[in-house]
Amino acid sequence: MEVVVLLLDGVWAALQPTNLGLAFLGVVIGLFVGAMPGLGSVNGVAILLPFTFVIQEITGTISSPMIFLAAIYYGAMYGGAISSITLGIPGASTAVATTFDGRPMALGGHAEKALVIAAIASFAGGTISNIIFTGAAPLLASVALKFGNPEIFALMLLAFATFIGLGGDDVPKTIISICFGLVMSAVGFDIISGAPRLLLFDSTEWFSRGIQFLVLAIGVYGIGEMLWTINSTRDSFKMTEANITLARVWQALKSFPEAWRGTSIGSFLGFFVGILPAAGATPGSLMAYGVTKMVSKNQEEFGKGRPDGVAAPEAANNSASTGAMLPMMTLGIPGSPTTAVLLAGMVIWGLQPGPLLFSEQPEFVWPLIGSFYISNVIAVVVNLACIPLFLKVLRMPFSILAPLIFVLSVVGTYAAYQNIYDVWLMLIFGIGAFLLRILDYPLAPAVLAIVLGPIAEPKLRQSLLLSDGSWMIFLERPISGPITIAAIILLLLPLYGFIRKRVKARS
């Protein structure tokens, strides 16, 4: 009961005009940076961090600047879906999985439906995770601590398994695609030995940071998609135009229950992945997509515009972003790149995030948690209200849209890391993705691998260092054991199906 009182106080504080105004401003900025390809919540928060000192000076509290930054974070999670759906370029790394089904829906003339589902699923994900956060933050912090190196690796293995174990796609091609992503993720400097790996032409300018995930994602979904559309339609490109009427938006709202499964899986799974340090919203949304597809009865419809396929990643990325706040506030460890910057902000404001934050700084913690709820409401309202505006993008003729996508892809890639070599790499990936697409290779697994590879590899090697090279470490430990076994079963599922078919064919 005490928690409810504290929360109500917090919500009340967040509803004060200054805080409400800051949350609104933050959400709008977040929507914008989220929708801009290449700029994500991390850029928005990092760029505006110095501005928060002005807010702190004016308001005299430390919760107000944090409310502002958290609102940007949420806004960006909503915003990422907008360009994923209308342009087919992931607006932020967290919204890559939204393109898988959101883009086909838009091409099929249901853009307004995709946008509405994305907004409502985001809201549901954000709110469900806020409730879990409010009720169980300290408890969940101790769960996060139980996840050591072998446990996190087991979880990554499970994520890969969900992508391989699904029917629909060609299994050998999926595995090749995953391997391609893993090789890309290995480029750079070896974390364990520090030795340079796979540096083509010994070029440190090109490869010293490794290949950034966003470079591959924008190449594949921005340039690759554009080339594919040009190729498949030649000059007779015609997108089914989405009519902007309130009735259609209302219709879309009413059809939301179709996406309940994706929304609920995304909300819970996203939160859980979010609280694990080192993971964050991007792996969370990709895993939610994989799991939703796996449990669905209509797997073959995924990738062609399935409402669940839009709802799962969107619910998950919002949920994971609240989840990632948990280790940041209770353990002082960021769960995602954005929370790392938020953490830097808290330190600069003189706070010591860690196990004592909740008991020592309630006047900071509770208004912030209250603002999570408020920001979500603001974000969903602003987002729904702006849908007609977003749809205008789709009315552009493709002869204008294609150059726009090209320019946004180039600018977005450069903006993300200010490195011109990334732009060349992105273009090479775009052309490569187009060729692979002609050969009918699924590309989502490669994207998943380049996100999860850099998390999984160090965890695998740290675990094996711990166990002196024994693989049993993954099976022996109480938490990693069951997860590893589940992953192995999933990996073997296609093989089982294959054998059963052969036996049937014989008899």
Q: Which residues bind another protein (CB under 8 A)?
A: 42, 46, 49-50, 53-54, 57, 144-149, 188-189, 191-194, 196, 202, 204-205, 208-210, 277-278, 327, 331-334, 337, 339-341, 343-345, 347-348, 350, 352-356, 418, 458, 462, 465-466, 468
Residue 359 vs 399, nearer CB to another protein: 359
Quote the tokens at residue 480. Answer: 């990693």
User: For residues 316 and 268, what is the distance between their CA atoms, to the nearest angstrom?
Assistant: 7
The least CB distance from residue 466 to another protein, in Å, is 6
Strand partners, 287: none
The least CB distance from residue 467 to another protein, in Å, is 11
Please name the residues in contact with 500: beta carbons below 8 A apart, sequence gap of 6 or more: none
Residue 148 vs 388, nearer CB to another protein: 148
User: For residues 209 and 54, what is the distance between their CA atoms, to the nearest angstrom?
Assistant: 34
The least CB distance from residue 190 to another protein, in Å, is 8
Strand partners, 189: 196
Residue 2 vs 468, nearer CB to another protein: 468
Residue 56 vs 174, nearer CB to another protein: 56
Residue 54 vs 389, nearer CB to another protein: 54
DSSP string of 54-76, one letter each residue? HHHHHH--SHHHHHHHHHHHHHH
Residue 152 host element (H or E): helix 149-164
The least CB distance from residue 284 to another protein, in Å, is 18
Sign of CA dihedral 200, 205, 207, 212: negative
Residue 108 vs 355, nearer CB to another protein: 355
Quote the tokens at residue 380. Answer: 């969903």
Residue 36 vs 85, nearer CB to another protein: 36
| Residue burial 214-235, b: 16+ Cβ < 10 Å; e: rest | bbbbbbbbbbbbbbbbeeeeee
The least CB distance from residue 318 to another protein, in Å, is 21
The least CB distance from residue 436 to another protein, in Å, is 27
The least CB distance from residue 191 to another protein, in Å, is 6
User: For residues 76 and 381, what is the distance between their CA atoms, to the nearest angstrom?
Assistant: 14
Quote the tokens at residue 404. Answer: 């726009």
User: For residues 166 and 162, what is the distance between their CA atoms, to the nearest angstrom?
Assistant: 6
Q: What are phi and psi of 49, to 5 degrees?
A: -55, -50
